[in-house]
Each structure stands twice: as structure tokens, then as C-alpha cells.
């Protein structure tokens, strides 16, 4: 009888013991986090703002956490491929994603099917930066301001083009805003990242782009690209001599973008909080502020929830812009 009682007790307590053991192991793993290298997925090619920001943040975050943070470029499909890979990664804190408002806010309005859900598949950690766009042309384009550019496009319908970092990217949305506002017949040429699009613009393969500042600052200073205007509400501190599109008679032409660090859904809160705290220290440092300023972006830090709050706020506005621009889902 006693033997039977012990057998039943072991049967009942066995699973409970395993649960306790698993919980203890998980707690221990979290307390020692990180104990191996961390991967930061950048869903765009090298050379663009996401890649540059990712490498700056990765180095500093690695120093703070005591483990290397390795940037893993996974470009393609306007950032969708990198997001899908991150969404399907283990929620253990060893895979992070540097997202931005393009894939997070714009893409749901541009693609009929996405293999990730921004709100269901990710745990937000923090906003890290924001920035505006600059309208630049190749030096061979014989214009010195936006009015002359518009006149040139209208004089050569269907003969000229503009590049973008891909469908749904800010460079695409703003290009379509300009195109539809002025009723221009110009061709859109999408690339797999803004850095690639800028490289072709410098080579003279395209005539114009609305680009983030990071990939073009050096080319502007080297006179390899000519800036005409910015899309911010106020003039840029990087190029204060440039007028805003609003100043030039486009009252609603204000457009920017933001970047955030997120993780696969299910990462323990303790790890989210740890990374958030370190990012706060990093983005507050004078070194990072100086580095970001040279790239034409503003450092940010936020509570995790602010990332989703911002994307939910912007989504209806972006959807309306895309609808007015006549860009259809594919």
C-alpha cells in the first residue's frame, strides 16, 4: 500500500517538479542574459540609414551588454523579408530587429499579404531615431530649385524618372506625393534599399530622389548631388539653407520617418527592460548625438509601448496619403 502511495505521489509531483525546474532554468537564463552574441537584423542593404544606424547602435549596445551585437542585413521586399525572419526567430533576446516606419506603417497599406504582423509578432523595445527627407537631383539635371524641376518634368512627360528605396519606403511615398500634386508623368524606379537607389542617382541612372539624409550627406558636400528642399515642418539643422516643401507652396508636404528596436513576440519583460535601459543611456550620450546629427537624424528613446502607439497613430494618415497618390496594393 505504501509503495502504491509513493508511486502515485511521484506520478503527481513529477510534472510539477519539471515545471519548477524549467522555471528555474528560464529565470537563470534571464539573469545571466546575455551569455552569447546577439544578432540585430537590418532589413535593408548596407549603405542606407537603417544599416548605418544599426552598426552604430550595435557597437554601443554590445559594449553595454558585454556581448557582441552583430548586424545581419536581410534586405528585400521593402523590408518585409527581414521582418519575416525576425518574427519567426526564437523569443530569447538573441535576435533583435531594427525596424522603421516604412515596413511597420506603410507596408500594410501597400501589400495584399504580409508574412508578419507588426502588432502580433513583435515586442517593441524603444524608438531610437527620427529624420526627414531631402529632395536631391543629379548635377546633370539643369535645375536649381523645385519650381524649375517641376517645369523640366512637365516639358518631358514620360522621359524622366525618380528612384526610391523600394515600394512603400518614404522615398517612394514622397515621390508619389510630389508626382500627383503636380500631375507629373515620371517613372518610379524602386531599388532594394535607399543606399542602392542613391548610388544609382550619383551614377546618373536616375534624375531625382527624396532620400533620408544619412546616405546623401557626403555626396551633397562633395557636390555629387544637388539638394533642393526638405520635407520637414521646419528647416533642417543639417542643411539650414534649404527651404521646406511647405515654404515652396506645398502646404501638406510634411513627411518624416522613425526607427525602432523590436524583438520577436514573447521575449521576457526583464530582457526588454534591460535593452531599453541600455538604449536610453546610449541615445543620451553626447557621442551618439553628435554621430546622429552628422547623419541628419535625431536620437530618440521611449518606453516600449510608444513604438506601437506611434505606428497606430500614423497608420490612418499614411493610408490616406497612399490612397491619394494612387498607389495600389500588390
| Chain centre distance of CA 51 | 9
DSSP for 194-233 reads HHHHHHHHHTTS-SEEEEESTTTHHHHHTTSSEEEEE-SS
Domains of the chain: 36-131+257-325 (3.40.190.150), 132-230 (3.40.190.10)
Helix (H, G, I), strand (E, B) or coil at 43: coil
pLDDT at 15: 52
Tell me which residue has cell 499579404.
113
Residues 260, 83 contacting (CB under 8 angstroms): no
Spell out the residues 6+ positions from residue 265 whose beta carbon is closer than 8 angstroms to its own: 87, 91, 120, 121, 122, 123
Rounded CA-CA distance 320/69 in Å is: 38
Lowest mean pLDDT among 16-30, 59-73, 244-258: 16-30
Residues 311, 101 contacting (CB under 8 angstroms): yes
**Helices 269-284 and 49-65 sit at what angle, rounded to 10 degrees?**
110
| Chain centre distance of CA 46 | 13
Q: What does the mean pLDDT of the chain come to?
A: 89
pLDDT digits (tens, 9 = 90+) for 84-106: 999 999 999 999 999 999 899 99
pLDDT digits (tens, 9 = 90+) for 286-318: 999 999 988 889 999 999 999 999 999 999 988
> What backbone phi and psi angles, to 5 degrees, belong to 97?
-130, 130
Instruction: For residue 10, name the pLDDT band (cuts at 50, 70, 90).
Output: low
Q: Which residues pair with 39 in a beta bridge?
A: 70, 95
Per the document, the length of the chain is 330
Q: What is the mean pLDDT of residues 185-214?
A: 93
- pLDDT at 217 > cutoff 70: yes
Reference 318, options 103, 165, 98; nearest CA is 103
List the end-to-end C-alpha distance of the chain, in Å, as a whole number: 70
Q: Which residue has the higher pLDDT, 268 or 329?
A: 268
pLDDT at 7: 54
Q: What is the mean pLDDT of residues 239-259?
A: 93
Residues 42, 51 contacting (CB under 8 angstroms): yes
Q: Which H or E run includes 25?
A: helix 2-31
- pLDDT at 240 > cutoff 70: yes
pLDDT at 294: 83
Q: What is the CA radius of gyration of the chain?
A: 23
* Cell numbers that stand for 279 in this block: 538604449
Report DSSP state, residue 244: B
Amino acid at each position: 500500500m505504501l509503495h502504491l502511495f509513493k508511486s502515485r505521489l511521484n506520478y503527481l509531483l513529477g510534472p510539477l517538479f519539471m515545471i519548477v525546474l524549467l522555471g528555474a532554468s528560464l529565470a537563470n537564463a534571464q539573469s545571466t542574459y546575455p551569455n552569447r552574441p546577439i544578432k540585430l537584423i537590418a532589413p535593408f542593404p548596407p549603405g542606407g540609414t537603417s544599416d548605418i544606424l544599426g552598426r552604430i547602435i550595435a557597437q554601443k549596445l554590445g559594449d553595454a551588454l558585454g556581448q557582441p551585437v552583430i548586424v545581419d542585413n536581410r534586405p528585400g521586399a521593402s523590408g518585409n523579408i527581414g521582418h519575416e525572419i525576425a518574427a519567426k526567430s526564437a523569443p530569447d533576446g538573441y535576435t533583435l530587429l531594427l525596424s522603421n516606419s516604412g515596413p511597420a506603417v506603410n507596408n500594410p497599406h501597400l501589400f495584399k499579404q504580409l508574412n508578419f504582423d507588426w502588432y502580433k509578432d513583435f515586442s517593441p523595445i524603444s524608438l531610437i531615431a527620427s529624420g526627414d527627407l531631402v529632395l536631391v537631383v543629379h548635377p546633370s539635371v539643369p535645375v536649381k530649385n523645385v519650381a524649375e524641376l517641376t517645369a523640366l518634368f512637365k516639358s518631358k512627360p514620360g522621359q524622366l524618372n525618380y528612384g526610391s528605396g523600394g515600394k512603400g519606403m518614404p522615398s517612394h511615398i514622397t515621390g508619389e506625393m510630389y508626382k500627383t500634386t503636380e500631375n507629373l508623368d515620371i517613372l518610379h524606379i524602386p531599388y532594394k534599399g535607399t543606399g542602392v537607389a542613391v548610388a544609382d542617382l550619383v551614377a546618373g541612372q536616375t534624375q531625382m530622389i527624396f532620400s533620408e539624409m544619412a546616405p546623401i550627406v557626403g555626396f551633397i558636400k562633395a557636390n555629387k548631388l544637388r539638394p533642393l528642399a526638405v520635407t520637414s515642418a521646419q528647416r533642417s539643422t543639417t542643411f539650414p539653407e534649404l527651404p521646406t516643401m511647405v515654404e515652396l507652396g506645398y502646404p501638406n508636404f510634411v513627411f518624416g520617418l522613425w526607427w525602432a528596436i523590436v524583438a520577436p513576440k514573447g521575449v521576457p519583460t526583464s530582457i526588454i527592460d534591460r535593452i531599453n535601459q541600455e538604449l536610453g543611456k546610449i541615445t543620451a550620450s553626447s557621442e551618439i548625438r553628435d554621430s546622429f546629427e552628422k547623419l541628419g537624424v535625431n536620437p530618440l528613446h521611449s518606453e516600449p509601448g510608444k513604438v506601437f502607439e506611434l505606428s497606430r497613430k500614423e497608420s490612418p494618415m499614411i493610408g490616406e496619403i497612399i490612397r491619394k497618390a494612387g498607389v495600389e496594393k500588390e
